[in-house]
Structure 1
Amino acid sequence: MSGSCTTAATAQTYRAHCDTSNHESICTTICNTIATAENSDVEDLDFVLYDHFDPDAIQTLTANSPSTANWEFTITIDHYHITIHNDGEIIVEIHE
């Protein structure tokens, strides 16, 4: 992962942070986090995020939210439960 995106795994929960102020992509961070969890390459994932939601809208919302804003966006794709927080924290939970 590039920039300040970091991933830490705890059981079946994976956490990453995307610094949108540095123009890092939330979509890329989510895909990298899932690929790390699955021990695979991003290209091997069997879904496309854009088929399920518009990551650009979330990217814009995150980049333009005031620091006092407090929101989260959650979506389930296949067996991945993905939560994006206003501060760029991304949590991916895997449910088998």
Structure 2
Amino acid sequence: MDSKRVTTGMLEHYVTLLERDRRQARMAEPYELVAYNYAYLGFEKKARKYGALAVQAAVIEQGPDANDVTALRIFANSVTEHYSWQRKVKKKQG
């Protein structure tokens, strides 16, 4: 996950397109992608929001005890400790 050109506008547009086109049948993966990218950019509140949405969707899609659900819960509860946290910012600094 090294989205060098990702912006918050792109992430918001992606979610809007999913909702507009009613592509909401399986949303765990898209929400997860958006959550990780917000973390990558250093936006904790948005990363937590979409991480929580990914958890909710993954529970429905895979069941509450699925490995993906566990990983997403850990991410959503500790965004700033995830390897993706502010990765873009850190890369710019050196």
TM range (shorter): 0.3 to 0.5
Higher strand share: 1
Give the greater-gyration-radius structure (CA): 2
